[in-house]
Amino acid sequence: MKKVGFILGIAIVIVAVFIFLNKLYYPSLPIENLSAKEAIDKLKESESKIAEIAVEGDSIWYITRNEQWYNDC
């Protein structure tokens, strides 16, 4: 029984690392053929607070850098 628990624990850790590294915890984008990880990578490459991530038809999609501040109220 301990062996099954250990294997299950290892599997959960592997899945969690996979989700974290591939940024799967971000919501899906309304843009086809672009993942959240790719959009974030484009923003990281940009030196400004806003980066163009896709052009679909007559729409241009942008992503912005946002600093989140939390209050301990």
Global pTM reads 0.58
> pLDDT tens across 16-26, in order?
998 888 777 77
Residues 53, 39: contact at Cβ < 8 Å?
yes
> pLDDT tens across 11-63, in order?
999 999 988 887 777 777 888 888 888 888 888 898 888 899 889 889 899 98
Q: Which residue has the tokens 């062996």?
A: 3
Q: CA 8 from chain center: how many Å?
A: 25
For residue 47, what are the CA distances in angstroms to 1, 16, 29, 32, 43?
53, 30, 22, 25, 8
